[in-house]
Structures are given as C-alpha cells and as structure tokens.
Amino acid sequence: MHQSLLAHGHHEEEEDDLLWNELKDDAADGAHLHHHRSAREPAGAAQLPSLRAHAHLPAISSLFHSVVDSARGAFSSGGSRKSGRSAHSSHEQQAPDASVWRSHAPDQLGRVHNLDAFLISLYNYFYHKGFWSIAVVELVALLTGLFSVALSSFLMGCVQWHRILECNHRAEPCEADLEEFVSCRVDDYSSVLTVLTAFYFVMFLGYWLFRALALVGTLRDAYGMAAFYLDRLHIDDRQLQTIKWDEVVNRVLDLVGPSRAPNALAPQLSSYRLQVDPALLATPHDFARRILRRENYLIAFMTHALFQHGNRLLPPALQVASMSHVMFSRNMECNLSICLIDQMLDGENRLARAFVQDAAILQKRFLVAGVVNFVLTPFLLIYRASHYLFVLAMEWHMHRGIDFGTRRWSSYALWKFRDYNELPHVLEARMARSFPAAERYLSMFPAGVGAVVAGGVSFCASSLMAVLIGLSLVDESLLLKTTLGGFPLIWYLTVATIVFGVAHTFTTTTSPFLVNGDSEEAMMQLSAETHFFPTEWRGRCESYDVRDEFLSLYPYKGVLLLQECLSVIMAPYILCVSLPRVAREILLFVRSHTLVLPQAGAVCRFAEFDFKEYGHDVKMERSFVNFKQNHPQWVGAQEGEALVQRLGQLKEEAMDKSMRMGDTVLYGSHLAMSMSQQLLQSQAIHTALGGGMTPQDNEFYWLEKLQQRGRLGELGMDESKATDSASISSLT
C-alpha cells in the first residue's frame, strides 16, 4: 500500500489493461446475481445521500452535482450527442433530481428503490437520534449560518470603521447617533471592499437558499424513516436514544427474507418483509460496506504513501510538518469527494470505466476545482475567520475564558485513527475516550517554559483585574472617566480580562518532573483507543522526538484553525498543480485496490478484511477487531476470528497471572498488614480483576501487546518479559 504504483512506467498501457481485466474477472462469477440486482436499482441512482456527520459537506457536494448536471444538460441539448445515448443520459439526469424529493424509506410493500440510499438514510436517522433532532440540527445550522454571513457582511459593508477610529483622536467623548457610524448605503460602487462584500453576501445567500430547499427533501426522508423505525422496527424516539446500532441492524435483517431466524431480543415482528434479495443484505458487514463505500476509499487514500509524505504534492520549501497536513483538512476532503470519489462509481456502483481509465478527465476536474477554490479563497477565509470569532465570543461568555490551550485531534490524526468500516458514532466515541489518556501521556513531560510564562502573565493580569474591580466598588465612574495614557480604566480592565482568559488556558498543574518508566505504558493505553502506535515509537515514548510527533497529531485549537485556513490557501495550488501530476497514480491505486462483488458492487479491498491478500496490514487487523467488537454475533474471515480468539487468550492469561500474584501477596502477608494497607491492597486487586475501567479490558491493548511480542520475537528477545510487564502493569 505504501509503494509507488508508477514503478512500471515502461508498461503503462499493458498494466492498465491487466488491471481492468482483473476487475472484470472479479465480477464474472456472479453475473446472474448482478443482473438481478441491476433490475432493482435504477441506472441513475449514483447520487446518494451523504453521511451527515458534517452538516456542510453534503450540501456542497449536492450543489456541485446540480451545477454539473445542469451544464451537462445544456451542452447535450445542442445536438452533439443524439440517438439512444442521449435518451439514456437524460434518464440519468432525471433520476437524481427526482430522488432529492423522494424518501428513501421502504414503501408499504417493502420495496426499496435504492439499497445504498436506504441504508445511509437508516444510519443518518440513527446517528441524529430521531426526526425532531434532525429537524432541529438542520434548522439551527441554517439559522446560525445565515446569521454569521449577515453579521460579517454587516460589519464589513455597513459599519463606518474610519469614523469609529476617529473617536480616539478626539478630546471630548464621542457621542453621536448610531446612524453616523452605520450606513448600508453604497456611495462608491468602485470600492473593492464594497464589491467583495456584496459578492460574499450574495454567494453565501445563494448557497443558503440551496440548503434551505434541500432541507425539505431531508425532512421528508427523515419523516419516512421515522415511520419505518416505529412501525416496522418497533423503535420509538425514546428507545433510539440508547439503542445500539447492532440491534438496529439485527431488526432490519429480521425483515429480509424468510430464512433468517427472528431476533430473540426484539419484539415479535409482523409479516412485513423487505423486498430485498437476502444475498444483498445478509450480515452487518453488508450494511457497513454499502454505507461506508466512499468513506473506505477516502481512508485508503489518506493512508497512502502519496498523501502521507507529500514530497510530490508540495514544493520542497513547503514540506514542513504543518503543510503536510493540508491534504487531510475538511476542505480537501470535500474537494476529493467531489472530484474523485463521487465520480469513480457509476449508477450500478461499479467503477466507471470511462473515468478510471482516462487520467485526463480527473486532471480536468482537479483543475476546475482548483480554479473555483482560487476564486472562493478570500470569501472562505472571511467566513471561517468570522465564524470562529463568533464561536470564541460564545465560549468567552459561557466559560469566562477562551480555550486556546485546549487540544483536539487534528483532521490528519482522525484519518490516521479511523478504521475501515467504522461508522462515525463509533469513531466519535473512541475519540472522546482517548482525550484523558492523551492528557495523561502529556502530563508525564515537564510543562515547559510556555506554561511557566503563561502562569506569570495570568497572575499579573488577575492582580490588575482585582485592583480595577476594587476601584469600581468605590465609585464606578472611576473606570469610565479616569484615563491613563489616553485610555479609560475600563479599557485596561477589558484588556486584562482578555489576557487572563487566554493565558489561563496555557497554564498547567502537572508535575515539572518527568515520570520515568510510565511513558511506554501510557502510550500503550492511549493506543487502545486511538488504534495508532507506530513501530518507530515503541521503546522511545519517553523521548521528546516521539512527544513532538504526537503533538503534531494533538495540537491546540488555535493551531487547528490555522491549519484549516492554510488548507484553503494551498488548495488551489494542490488542485491545479500537484494532484494533476499524480492523477494516473491515483487511478491506478483505485483500480488495483478495488474488488467488484456481485452482491455489492465496487468496494475497497481493505474494507473486505481480506487476510489472504493483506494479512500483514496492521490497520486492517485493527479494523477487523473493531468491527467484531461492535458486532459480536458477526462471523468474519477465519484468520480474523483466530486473531480475536488469540487476543481473548492473552487477556485471560494475564488475568489468571494477576489473580495468582494477588493471592500470593494477600495470604502471605495478610496478618502483618494494617487495616489501611489491607484496604489499599484490596483496591489494587479489585482493579486488577477488572473492577475498574482499565485499558487492559480493551482488546486493542492486547493487540498492541501481541504485535510488540511479535516484534520482540523478530529481534530475538525473550517474549516472556513483555508478558510479565503486561501482567504487572495491570496491577498498577
């Protein structure tokens, strides 16, 4: 996966033909099943609802598709393409437009018009926990987006900032009506700021209107899915708040075909059946491969060596740590989805041969997207900056401080951590559990000079605040009328409050001394949630090199904003220059890592848990274990089941050893210990026996131990030491 696919440069055409023939051979055995499926799914069903984990991405993608379809229809109406091909293309254009206003829920007879769209809508309803939650989330997103655009446009185009700044140079107080400082009348149409503000407002207003129209289709789809959950799955909105996705999957499978035994935990279902071929929807894996068909490709792209190192995407002067993360931002995710992921599959969920075999088409799409990004760059920056300032103002009002010092996982880290076939709610739960472990690892290092300086600044600022607040208790007019250096005292109080709020977030209460011996175990416990522990980190977690690499994955929130803004600035260069140069390599990667299944269409090979093909791929092993955890009744590949069984054995062996150690200590020195010592020992044994929520209860902790044991075996070391350290660490 991390090797370049351009090593066969002298045989490019032959390699293209061989790869395409392999894709055709993968689907040859199930041609009759595919013919049955294609009869159920229309050819124009390629435009599917998106996973709504990010509210803005689906609307942008749909808007782009609408513009492209309209332009394609205008060009095709000129008569350049006639005969049966134009009739077929017109049918493809009408189908997506009709599907926008049609619910993807099954009808009264159980007919499913598009299986992928149905499963995605089924999960979206589960993710947002009901109809009213979806409606409120969408409406609030619309209103806050409109308010942000309107307020930022008002501040740029209507507020007379030059008159406000003149107040500082006046000796007397600046008292005037609001109309003297606010004027929305355009006196000079040649002003660059006026033109930019008008275009900014009109552009985002058009986008907002499109989202408002799309909301009608979203609510109609959610309403139909609400009826399906309540009437067919017997799950109301109260149950939906706590029910697991695996239970929803089992109840849907109970409705597919008469051959499946009913779920014992679910209520007795009626004779209603989904008109879906059981071969198409038989296991939880069938749900995941269809819901995450496009996301699995994105995960494979983002972990590919082409995007990891960035030596072919950026010039040498820009190949630094922060710039290498540009490809993993939400902005680039949206561009890759529009230019590549949404275009490489046809209406039957197979690779579109005309697209994946012609690199010129992909190059043209990258170039067009780059030009569009270049035009929209200033407006996107204005929107992001203004929206972030409003969010900071909200945090200041709620928490009396700005959390610049709060760390979050970067987009680059989330792509590194995400497993194949991992749904958004599973990833979000893992990341929420990983924050305490990440802070625990960082707390083992000295806070540094920055935290010391921040503590001193916050002390000085808070002292100044106390003095000024004390003066206001004597006479509040002192803050308003007493000046110092041309500014009233209330101005100094405001500045001191802001400085204190910012500096306080960078202070820390951790020990200034490094705790030796625990860094490796802390990283091991963290990897149980992140599923990420590079080989080059093992045995070096106490070093500052590993710490610095970890901090690049776990930066401050302010750094994340700068990375997103940097991504907006660099996107035109990457789309117009860098990605077109590697377009053919990207397409070869798609074709060589695609498996065409007769019951599912084109899927990413890594997401199929093919241990025979990728038996040594660590990410695929972790993905299998993660999927098995969330679907315990699912039976996967034999190699994967053996891996899960081996992890269970390691866990039981360590538990038995901990119990023997506890018994030896307890019965050997029980009489010689005081009551407090006995209490502390019982608490330690209780934790060792699983009475507390320890990372050792997580299978991924033992997966890392198993991989570490294999690494020690390769180095010729005694693997019993690793087992002993794992068992002893569970007692601490």
Q: What is the pLDDT of residues 264-298, one digit of tens each?
A: 555 544 678 888 888 899 999 999 999 999 999 98
Which residues fall within 8 angstroms of residue 295, CB to CB, at 6 or more apart?
51
Name residue 25's amino acid. D
Q: How many domains does the chain have?
A: 1
91: pLDDT strictly greater than 50: no
User: Which of the residue ranges 15-29, 482-496, 663-677 has the most confident prediction, judged by mean pLDDT?
Assistant: 482-496
Arithmetic mean of pLDDT, 97-109: 71
Arithmetic mean of pLDDT, 5-29: 43
215: pLDDT strictly greater than 80: yes
Rounded to the nearest integer, the mean pLDDT of the chain is: 74
Say how far apart CA 531 and CA 20 lie, in whole Å. 34
Of 345, 324, 346, 337, nearest to 366 (Cα)? 337
Domain-embedded: residue 123: no
Domain-embedded: residue 653: yes
Domain-embedded: residue 395: no
Domain-embedded: residue 389: no
14: pLDDT strictly greater than 60: no
Dmax over CA atoms of the chain, in Å, equals: 98
Name residue 482's amino acid. T
6: pLDDT strictly greater than 60: no
Say how far apart CA 686 and CA 682 lie, in whole Å. 6
Helix, strand, coil percent content, the chain, rounded in steps of 5:
65, 5, 30
CA-based angle 186:189:190, to the nearest 5? 145
Arithmetic mean of pLDDT, 327-331: 79
Domain-embedded: residue 155: no
DSSP assignment of 138-197: HHHHHHHHHHHHHHHHHHHHTB-HHHHHHGGG-SS-----GGGTB----S-TT-HHHHHH
Say how far apart CA 234 and CA 72 lie, in whole Å. 44
Domain-embedded: residue 690: yes
How many CB atoms within 10 Å of residue 699?
20
Q: What is the model's pTM?
A: 0.76
Domain-embedded: residue 385: no
Domain-embedded: residue 663: yes
Arithmetic mean of pLDDT, 604-628: 85
Segments forming the whole domain that contains residue 708: 637-729
Q: Residue 315 is encoded by which pair of tokens? A: 């010039």
Of 177, 414, 388, nearest to 299 (Cα)? 414
539: pLDDT strictly greater than 70: yes
Higher pLDDT, 481 or 364: 364
DSSP assignment of 436-475: HHHHHHHTTS---HHHHHHHHHHHHHHHHHHHHHHHHHH-
420: pLDDT strictly greater than 90: yes
100: pLDDT strictly greater than 90: no
94: pLDDT strictly greater than 60: no
